[in-house]
Amino acid sequence: MKINFPTIAIVVFLGLLVSCKEKTKKSEMDVSEIEHESKQLQAFFDKTYQEDLSNSPMMQTQIGLKTDYGKWDDFSHTKYPKDLERSKARLAYLKDSINVNALSKSDRLSYRLMRKKLENEVEDYKFRFYNYPINQMSGIHTSIPAFLINQHRIDSVADAEAYVKRLQGIQKVFEDVIKTMQIREKNGILPPKFVFVKTIEDSKNVLTGKPFSDSKENSVLLQDFSDKVNQLQITKQQKKELIKKAKKALVDHVKPAYQKMIETLQDEAQRATTDNGVWKFPKGKEYYQNQLNRYTTTHLSAEEIHKIGLKDVDRIHQEMKSIMKEVGFEGSLQDFFKFMKEDPRFYYEQNEKGKAAYLQKAKAIIDEMRSRLDELFLTLPKAKLKVKPVEAFREKSAGIAFYERPALDGSRPGIYYVNLYDMKAVSKYQMEALAYHEGIPGHHMQIAIAQELDSLPEFRKHLFYGAYIEGWGLYSELLPKEIGYYKDPYSDFGRLTAELWRACRLVVDTGIHAKKWTREQAIQYYKDNTPNAESDCIKMVDRHIVLPGQATSYKIGMIKILSLRAKAKKALGEDFDVREFHDVILTNGVVPLDVLEDLVNDYIESKKASAA
Question: Is residue 540 in a domain?
Answer: yes
Please tell me the predicted confidence (pLDDT) of residue 487: 94
Please tell me the predicted confidence (pLDDT) of residue 496: 98
Mean local confidence (pLDDT), 363-389: 97
Q: Judge whether residue 551 has pLDDT over 70.
A: yes
Which of these, 293, 312, 311, 310, lies nearest to 301 by C-alpha position?
A: 293
Supply the DSSP string of 21-81, one letter for each residue. HHHHHHHHHHHHHHHHHHHHHHHHHHHHHHHHHHT-HHHHHHTT--TTTT-----STTHHH
Question: Is residue 207 in a domain?
Answer: yes
Mean local confidence (pLDDT), 466-493: 97
Question: Is residue 584 in a domain?
Answer: no
Residue 409 pLDDT level (bands cut at 50, 70, 90): confident
Q: Judge whether residue 440 has pLDDT over 60.
A: yes
Please tell me the predicted confidence (pLDDT) of residue 18: 42
Residue 505 and residue 401 share a domain: yes
Count of domains for the chain: 3
Q: Judge whether residue 31 has pLDDT over 90.
A: no
Please tell me the predicted confidence (pLDDT) of residue 325: 97
Q: What is the residue range of 213's domain?
A: 140-274
Q: Last residue of a domain, which of 274, 298, 320?
A: 274
Q: Is 385 in contact with 414 (CB distance < 8 Å)?
A: yes
19-23, 205-209, 544-548, 555-559: lowest mean pLDDT where? 19-23
Residue 367 and residue 466 share a domain: yes
Supply the DSSP string of 540-586, one letter for each residue. HHHHHHHSTTGGGHHHHHHHHHHHHHHHHHHHHGGG--HHHHHHHHH
Residue 123 and residue 145 share a domain: no
Residue 452 and residue 511 share a domain: yes
393 φ/ψ angles, rounded to the nearest 5 degrees: -70, -15
Residue 305 and residue 390 share a domain: yes
Q: Give the chain's mean pLDDT.
A: 93
Please tell me the predicted confidence (pLDDT) of residue 462: 87
511-539 pLDDT, tens digit each: 999 999 999 999 999 999 999 888 889 99
Report the Cα 608 to chain-centroid distance in Å: 34
Give the integer Cα–Cα distance in Å for 210 and 481.
49
Residue bearing the bigger pLDDT, 411 or 298? 298
Mean local confidence (pLDDT), 279-299: 97
Q: Judge whether residue 430 has pLDDT over 50.
A: yes
Give the integer Cα–Cα distance in Å for 349 and 422.
10
For residue 167, give Cα distances in angstroms to 237, 242, 258, 400: 21, 13, 12, 29
Q: Last residue of a domain, which of 274, 298, 329?
A: 274
Residue 291 and residue 368 share a domain: yes
Q: Judge whether residue 541 has pLDDT over 90.
A: yes
Residue 154 and residue 34 share a domain: no
In this prediction the pTM is: 0.88
Q: Is 320 in contact with 333 (CB distance < 8 Å)?
A: yes
313-317, 389-393, 474-478, 487-491: lowest mean pLDDT where? 389-393
Residue 172 and residue 300 share a domain: no
Portion of the chain with pLDDT greater than 90, in percent: 89
Residue 294 and residue 216 share a domain: no
Question: Is residue 600 in a domain?
Answer: no
Residue 223 and residue 92 share a domain: no
